[in-house]
Structure 1
């Protein structure tokens, strides 16, 4: 199909009139990219699905990718200050250099939490399940009589493990 669309610039026929300025700019960029592109018929097509570790498409990897994108896109629409949104975005992506992550990369000997020394120090542990963070949540929320919203130890799931991705 790609070969058919590129042959004689057949893909251009699919473009309709009345395009907006951004669409015209995107069309121009596509035209520039495809003008120097040529296919080699002797090489078979290959497909690599970037949302799974093995490169193969699956419905579950698609669901996980879109749910992750949806979570982060909703985060950027909140009214919180930018520094708070950035903090939460990095936490959702698991990009903080916790003891577990440092240990996984061979940069730290002990993956356990420095605060409680009971579990591995992951982002989720530091923010939700560590006894010290749970106590902090309970006290902060208690000022507004919302203690019932404090994180519980049961039912907390690491989003990155659930989605089958491991943060680098």
Structure 2
């Protein structure tokens, strides 16, 4: 249920937009029947149309290549290294309870399933037993942006696996999700029409006269707690307000960002700001806000709340800035524990002041 009431809604978890379709039901039943498939090598070859859509996404080349190697069986997983009698433990790098194959590592491992479900797509990896079939359904039901998200997630999971094996770094789900966000942020941001490329500024820029710019950010920690930070400044760079807050029951780091936007909009209304521009460094949120149509997911539910708040403004826009242009909000979000839940009107905490001055000089 959203913050403005309304009835509970049912979502079809195996469709990206949450809507049930006969095609989605058919594919779900097909996946149930394929549970006993011994390995991805027994699945049908992927069609040329799949690869055309696969390579056409806006994901980074290294994300596409890693996903292609995983689908094609070219990643040096332990089960593959063990077969030619290489001295290696074939156990999964994350759970160590099964051999490390594509099907197990990317779909069946409990840690990987947690990453998929906590991602913005809220993917139920336990609905699949075959990695190739997983990709076939992803391409069939998802658009290009969703396919790019999956490619970035596969890359982030593979990168985390190598850090566990070669750097002895523990697996942290929220770190993997943050890495996915950064991979998506490296991709050129596109405007509402999806045609012209928008060059995202690398520094904070003053808004138009009469408009207040509200920068916000979120810091997610394991344990379903997100920490939010916001700073509002006018066209001269003067501070109108700053704030910090805790938000509980957050599923993932990427869902913390739209929660931060909703909180920022409500604060702006409470403070009497009527002409605002909210600015985020989360490219996935930026794209989702400008996307046509309305889906049925955790993210779309929060964005619906945000759209209901639009009536409280005379002027409202959403813009994207690189993380280097969002340093004040980022600092506030990461230091919520120091300042607790607070709102400062026309001032900032003393440690934040040098960052604010740096933005306008």
For normalisation by structure 1, the TM-score amounts to 0.46
Which structure shows the bigger proportion of residues in helix conformation? Answer: 1
For normalisation by structure 2, the TM-score amounts to 0.23
Which structure shows the bigger proportion of residues in strand conformation? Answer: 2
Higher-Rg member (1/2):
1
